[in-house]
Amino acid sequence: MAELEALPGSTRPAEPPPVVELVDVWRSFAGPPPVDALRGVDLRLDRGEYLAIVGPSGSGKSTMLHVLGLLDRPSAGIYRLEGVDVSQMSEAQRSGLRGHRIGFVFQAFHLLPTRSLIDNVLLPLIYQGVPRRGRRDRAVQALERVHLGHRLDANPLTLSGGERQRVAVARALVSEPSLLLADEPTGNLDQRNAAGVLDLFDELHAAGISIAIITHDDAVSRRAQRLVRITDGRVSAG
């Protein structure tokens, strides 16, 4: 391939960098008592991959989510997001990246109960300063993507739990992030609603979206393409 790239006139595009690359990442809390919640984590997520990160309570999952989502910084080590070292960036740079490049889905859906689905989904675009004219179209597309295009003006309180989580997924996708980061996304759902949300993640994966899902639930992690385990702050292949 190196030779191919050297050929004059070659149009082969450069290999895209991984979406996520953690290199020997530590996250230590001073305490007392002092805790090393992440201990030398190496992790790579390639573009379009669907990764589950599983581990028991206290293993470091939330710490990992906060680091990956740019809500917290490693104490040591490097985090590259799409090839860019974000470990040393200013808070302003990191929060800008967080809004544009990371889509969060949480266990509790965190929808605004007094606003329509479309208002909930276009809210991130208001924060990002996207002009009004483009916002609505993008929110409609995001809601269509989660099969709720026929409920644009519904109130979230009239939806099932599974539908609410699909709205939260639409809101996460409306900024076209590089990484969809989900924290126990089926934790508040019964089996049938959970299955619907997991089917949606399969569809998004098939459409090329990069997904990292943090869970302690085997039924969830089984659906991912690749699994890593986190135990006492260390990551190992599942």
User: β-pairing, 84-85 with 76-81?
Assistant: antiparallel
In the list 13, 32, 57, 236, the residue contacting ligand ADP (rule: CB under 6 A) is 57
Judged by beta carbon distances under 5 to 8 A according to partner kind, the member of ligand ADP, Mg ion, none in contact with residue 141 is: none
Beta bridge partners of 213: 52, 182
- Residue 109 CA to residue 183 CA, distance in Å, equals 11
Among the residues of the chain, which ranges form H helices? Answer: 2-6, 61-68, 91-101, 117-127, 132-145, 161-173, 191-206, 218-221
* 71 vs 195 by CB, closer to ligand ADP: 71
Q: Does 107 bind Mg ion (CB under 5 A)?
A: no
Could you tell me the smallest distance in angstroms from the CB atom of residue 171 to ligand ADP?
A: 23
Tokens of 34: 């002092």
Tokens of 113: 């109960």
* 35 vs 71 by CB, closer to ligand ADP: 35
Torsion over CA: 73, 76, 77, 83 (sign)? positive
In the list 20, 63, 111, 179, the residue contacting ligand ADP (rule: CB under 6 A) is 63
- Residue 233 CA to residue 238 CA, distance in Å, equals 15
Torsion over CA: 197, 166, 17, 89 (sign)? negative
In the list 18, 25, 55, 189, the residue contacting ligand ADP (rule: CB under 6 A) is 55
Judged by beta carbon distances under 5 to 8 A according to partner kind, the member of Mg ion, ligand ADP, none in contact with residue 89 is: none
In the list 17, 46, 62, 100, the residue contacting ligand ADP (rule: CB under 6 A) is 62
Tell me the window of 59-67, 80-88, 133-141, 227-235 that interacts with Mg ion (CB under 5 A): 59-67
Tell me the window of 7-15, 35-43, 58-66, 148-156 that interacts with Mg ion (CB under 5 A): 58-66
Judged by beta carbon distances under 5 to 8 A according to partner kind, the member of ligand ADP, Mg ion, none in contact with residue 94 is: none
Q: Does 37 bind ligand ADP (CB under 6 A)?
A: yes
Could you tell me the smallest distance in angstroms from the CB atom of residue 61 to Mg ion?
A: 5
Cα torsion through 122, 174, 108, 57, rounded to 10: -150
Q: Does 62 bind Mg ion (CB under 5 A)?
A: yes
